[in-house]
Amino acid sequence: VTLTCEIESGDDWNYEWYKNNNLLRDAQRKKYEISNVDQTHAGDYTCKGTQSTGRIYTHTSAAVTLTVSAGKPRLRVDPQSSVYTGDTVTLSCETPYPSTDWIFFWKKDSQYIDHHHHHQSTFSITESHPGEAEFSCIGQRLNEQSEESDPVRITVRERPKATVNVQPAGHVFIRERVTLTCGIESGDDWNYEWYKNNNLLRDAQRKKYEISNVDQTHAGDYTCKGTQSTGRIYTHTSAAVTLTVSAVKVKPTITSNPEGAALTGNTVTLYCKLHQSAGWTFYWSKHTQSSENETITNVYTISSVSLSDGGQYWCRAGRGNPVYYTHYSDALWVNVTASGPRSGSTEVIVGVSVGLSLILLLIIILGLICCYMKSKGDSAAQPSDDTYYQIMTIVSYTEETMKEQHNQMMSLNPRLS
């Protein structure tokens, strides 16, 4: 700031400068310069000219008031990026002229914040709701107040959630391979922390935590979370996933439908029952086969069975990579029986056979009768009793044969009755 004392007369004057009516002894020239003004320089300035050791002097000038503003403070926020719900944000209000006698007022979304620390130059606030908020600050001392700082906008996002997925299942058996995966909603680059029974696993720092040869010491509750920036940014801790480890190798049970003997041409369904957890592939063996058949489900279907499908069957299950296999089930016998001809065919075959039998018998009877009548008409010879007996025997046999054929037809197809 440069103050200049102008005097009407061009004579050679000495100059006196006053601030608030107090002589400034270091100001004795026409121009009074303040090279680095601050608020201590504020006040009313006057000047006058003198000559001959003060015996000649001018009127004292009218006062000029110098007002020094505190300026606009600068607002800083830490962290500067967007934050998550539950994070603490620290705001700092910096005035152009630092001094211990400043007090500060804070605003959020143009409203003053009622907080017991609001007079300090730093202010911390924890945001619990997602959204955007705008902050600003104002400095004040004595009767002097600074301008309001430029606002700072903070974006608050919902804190990401972490989830644990376990493969092949939460219930496993010793020597299986187990993979735990920590999934986080946000796609940011996270560091991972794994916990077992709430204790940090220091050797587990990746998204996937693998146990290559599980045993019962690995059983417990597993959780995970993601962190960034040396832990200042973090996700919610996941819900716990319980890992159960069984020492006894499981043995499935094999059953069939139908349970009894199956007729050729029908369908036979085999079931491999396994009650422990999930993720299994099922393998089926037969005593006449060298290789196993594989199914994703525990059902194996034999459509239109033949006699060659009969025999002993076993099943087992496996999962993981490398595959962990269960015990084989006990053997199951599948009996296949040849089915009889259809009813329509039975009727035709029986009818044809009965008809042919009757025709043949009638021919024999007629032949014998003719022989008997011829012998009876011959005067030289009498018909023998043997010939008559033979004819009666054939007639009686024919009747019995017809009855037998009738009974066979009834047993094969009751509808013929």
Q: What are phi and psi of 101, to 5 degrees?
A: -95, 10
pLDDT at 65: 93
Q: Which of 405 and 366 is assigned the larger pLDDT?
A: 366
- Name the nearest CA neighbour of 250 among 272, 223, 225: 272
| CA 393 – CA 401 distance, rounded (Å) | 12
The β-bridge partners of 59 are none
Pair 74, 94: CB distance under 8 Å = yes
Tell me which of 50-64, 155-169, 242-256, 387-401 is least confident: 387-401
User: What residue ranges in 142-261 does DSSP mark as E strands?
Assistant: 144-148, 152-157, 162-167, 171-173, 178-184, 191-196, 199-200, 208-211, 220-228, 233-234, 241-246, 253-257
If you average pLDDT over residues 246-253, what whole number do you get? Answer: 90
| CA 379 – CA 145 distance, rounded (Å) | 168
The answer, yes or no, to whether the previous bond of 73 is cis (omega within 30 of 0) is no
If you average pLDDT over residues 258-267, what whole number do you get? Answer: 89
pLDDT at 261: 86
pLDDT at 404: 52
Pair 317, 326: CB distance under 8 Å = yes
pLDDT of 395 above 70: no
Q: Which of 375 and 338 is assigned the larger pLDDT?
A: 338
Which tokens hold the place of 258? 């139908």
Tens of pLDDT along 132-160? 989 999 888 776 778 899 999 989 989 99
Q: How confident is the model at residue 376 (pLDDT cuts 50, 70, 90)?
A: low
Which residues lie closer than 8 Å to 354 by C-beta, 6 or more apart? 402, 405, 406, 409
Q: How confident is the model at residue 11 (pLDDT cuts 50, 70, 90)?
A: confident
Q: How confident is the model at residue 115 (pLDDT cuts 50, 70, 90)?
A: low
Average pLDDT, rounded, for the chain:
82
CA 189 to chain centre: 18
pLDDT of 313 above 90: yes
| CA 61 – CA 16 distance, rounded (Å) | 11
Q: How confident is the model at residue 347 (pLDDT cuts 50, 70, 90)?
A: very low
